[in-house]
Each structure stands twice: as structure tokens, then as C-alpha cells.
Chain A
């Protein structure tokens, strides 16, 4: 479904991606793990065309989308929940949700999706008239996911959805992730919480300073001593 080949990206003269190759198949949850600064967020931003691709190609359903504008990428069904949530602070919760559906014209189905999104996160229903900026961090994360779902994505890119959340909320978020996937959405998941991520994912990639260094099924990665030591916090001594 999605195929990155030797993708490079630069911030000025700093090369953040040095050739990332990975693929995501329809129906999968693929997770991307790696240390801080490894280039995980940059990879997602390159897919969404927010960060320009400086080399290599990105294909979606066999079509080259490397140089497509961000809004066109979204129109193809690739939606992102960015790192740091990026909620619109001065729009209400409901308005934020509706921004997620910006490109959709099927008004009738929107209402149902709105209800569905609010059912996934009941707390948002209580807060729907509140400004986005007044929500707590966890609530903002839920809103960011709900907002992205409003686009009815075929491929959802999630950047650290569990960051800074209480364990019970993290669990809920991962439940939702699994649920979205069984409902038919493909997911590319960036996570610091490698343990959790590898439990829900089918496959995974490990990124190190702008390159993929390990890849395999989730079970393989969980069993890989390099992964255990560096990302699962296990002491191998």
C-alpha cells in the first residue's frame, strides 16, 4: 500500500533521513521505533509532504506521491496525527473534529462519524463545546486521534500517541488503535513505548540516525536482543 524507497530529508544542511526504505501493506499495523532524533517524525512528515523529500521515492497504491502537496496526500486517504497533537487551540472540540473532515462532502455520513468518534472517547462528548486549547494533554491526544478519524483515512500515521499519558489512558488508546485497525484502517505507528507498540503491531522497523537498521515481524523484534537492550529496557548482562 505504502512504499518508501531510500527516502532522504534535510533540514537546511542537516540530513535527518539518510535513506529510509520501508513498506506498509493494507490491513497492517506497522510500528516504527527508534531513539530520540532517529528520524521517526521526519519520516511521517515526509510521507505527508510537510517536509520535502530530498531523495528517494514514496509510492502509494503504486502511484508516486513523493512531490504531491500535503492536501493532495490527505485527499488520497493518508492522514496523520502529528507529534505534539497540534490541536487548534481557539476552535472548539466540535470544530476541531469538523476540520478533520475538511475534504469530505458526504454530509449525511459525517454526523454518524462524529458520533462514532465521540463514542470512542466519551470524555470528548462532554467537552465538545470547549476550546481545544483548554483540554488536558490526554484529552488533546484523544481529540487529535478522533479528528484524524473524521477524514476516514485508509492509512493513518500516528506519531507517539501515548506520549505523556497516564497508563490507563495509554491502554485505552492502544485499544482504540487495535479497534480502528480491525475496522479496516491501515496504521503506521511511531512509538517510544516499544513494548506496547510491538504487542499491537504486525511488523516493525527500527530507525537509527536516519536509517532503518532492523526490520521484521513484531514477534521477531520482541525477541531480538538488540531491540530488547536498546528499546525494551531489558538488561542483557
Chain B
């Protein structure tokens, strides 16, 4: 029972972590909570399914293309909605972010309708729908293993990009001091675009994984996932990438345990409770440094 809850929680937590890094990276470079990030996650799922059902593409190809499309959507989102407000008060950008979230949600409603859709399971490689192993009452599916592998792989990749590449170093420099970064010759807008692309790609992967895992997708799916991932990012310390990863996993496990041992009614409440507790007890999060408010 406990083991099963832990496995389920870990699966969910890795997905939250994938979404949370998008919030935290964007916050790191432009100090904006990109509320439309949850919608990019939703679009990832819809793009993937549409490419499978309407274009007849094989699953892996559809997934890759959906991720690339979402990366481009992320870049466009920044250029259209946020870039014109770079010098405006932060509240203006924040309200715009909420507006973009609502806009994208409604756009999806118009295109795909409000009814939830199943994921086209027949397009999935056969093994994904089978049980990988069962020990006593604890089961682990290939799908869960697939989620573990993809999520952990993506995060390792992200870590390497941020730590080892030229543009990754530029991202870190930009997050630490924008003026100094520009004075080094860094094209600030390009690095911001890159950050959006990277975060959106991670979010899209999460959206696809969730749609497969729960076998459902709908235009408002980005809302709850977004709030939870945001809570995970806050828990880890907004702006800290390792923090967002850890925050996601902790939150996923806490949620599964809360649902398993208290009541499944409290599942969603756990995220809010965690967020409130962090804000009250340690606003800088687990791994974040204490920051003074720059607003």
C-alpha cells in the first residue's frame, strides 16, 4: 500500500517537476510568473494527439513535433505578450500572463471543444500499456517506467544545457544581473526566447505524459497542473531549477500520501496547503536563497 502510493506519487511528482522548471526558469530571467505556462502544457497534449489522429503520425514523431511546436509557442508568447512590457511595472506583465492563460484556454476550447478526449492508445507502442512488474500488491507499469525515464532524462539534459553550454551560462548570468549580462555582449532577448523555448518544451512533454497516464485531455487541464507545478516551484524556491525539481517530487509524493491515507478528496488541497505553508514558514523555499523583494 505505502509502496504503491510512493510509486504513484513519484510518477506524478516527476511530471510536476517537469512543469515547475518552466515556471522557475522564466522567473529567473525576467521575474515573471508565466501563468500561461499551464496552457503550453495543455497544448502539448493536444498537438500530440492531433498529430496522431488527424495527421496519422507515429507516436514518437508526433510527440517530438508537438514539443517543438510548444517551444515555438513559448517563444511567440514572450515576443507578443511579454516583451513589449519589459520596462513596464511587474504587475502589468503579471496581469497579461493571466490574460494569455485565459486566451489560450479559450482558443483550445474553440478548436478542440470542451469535452475531454481519450488519448489514442492504439497509437502507443504496445508495451506501454502492459504491466512491467508486480511484487505482492505493488505494481509498476511500463508507462510509469517510461514517465520516469523521460522525465529524468529531460531533467538531466536540462541540467547539462544550463551548466555546460554557452547559452546556458548566459541564462545563468542573465538571471544574476541583467545589465552585466548585456554588457558582456549577451543578446538578452535571444536568451529570454531560449529560456521560454526550453521551459515550454519541458511543459509540453509533461502534458503528453499526463494525457497518456490518465488517458484524457481537455482544454482546462493546464489550470490545476499549472497551479500545482507553481506550488512545487515555490516550494523549491522560485528561480532555483534544482529546487523546482525537488519541489515537484516532494509535492507529488505528499499528494499521493495525502490522498491515500487521509482522503482522496484532499488530493488537490495538499498543493495549496504546501504553498501556504511555504509562504508562511520559509518564503524563499527549500533550495532558494533568501531574496529581498525587488518589486
Footprint of B on A, CB under 8 Å?
48, 50, 69-71, 74-75, 79-80, 82, 86-91, 95, 98-100, 102-103, 147, 151
In the complex, how many angstroms separate the beta carbon of A114 from the nearest chain B beta carbon?
A: 15
A48 & B183 in contact (Cβ 8 Å cutoff): yes
Q: Is the CB of B187 within 8 A of A91?
A: no
CB of A177 to closest CB in B, whole Å: 18
Tell me whether B188 and A71 are in contact (CB under 8 A).
yes
Q: Indicate if the CB atoms of A75 and B169 lie closer than 8 Å.
A: no
23 contacts across the A-B interface (CB closer than 8 A): A71-B186, A71-B187, A75-B185, A79-B183, A80-B183, A82-B179, A86-B179, A87-B180, A88-B172, A88-B173, A88-B176, A88-B177, A88-B181, A90-B176, A91-B173, A91-B176, A95-B169, A99-B181, A99-B184, A99-B186, A102-B166, A102-B170, A103-B184
- The contact of A99 among B169, B179, B187, B188, by CB within 8 Å, is B169
Q: Roughly how many angstroms separate A63 CA and B137 CA in the complex, as a whole number?
A: 75
- Chain B residue nearest to A144 in the complex (CB): B180
Q: How far is the CA of A86 from the CA of B173 in the complex (A)?
A: 11
In the complex, the chain B residue whose C-beta lies closest to that of A70 is: B182
Residues on the A chain within 8 Å of B183, using CB: 48, 50, 70, 74, 79-80, 82, 86
Given contacts A86-B177, A91-B176, contact A71 B169 (CB under 8 A): no
Within the complex, the shortest CB–CB distance from B238 to chain A, in Å, comes to: 16
Task: Point out residues on B near A: beta carbons under 8 Å.
Answer: 166, 169-170, 172-173, 176-177, 179-188
Closest to A52 in B: B87
Known: A82-B180, A102-B166. A74 touches B173 (CB 8 A): no
Query: Is B185 in contact with A98, judged by CB distance below 8 angstroms?
Result: no
A85 nearest CB across to chain B (Å): 9
Task: From the candidates A87, A90, A102, A147, name the one contacting B186 in the complex (CB within 8 A).
Answer: A102
Residues A86 and B180 in contact in the complex (CB < 8 Å), given A91-B169, A91-B173: yes
CA gap between A26 and B169 in the complex, in Å: 33
- Please, which residues of chain A bring their CB within 8 A of the CB of B170? 99, 102
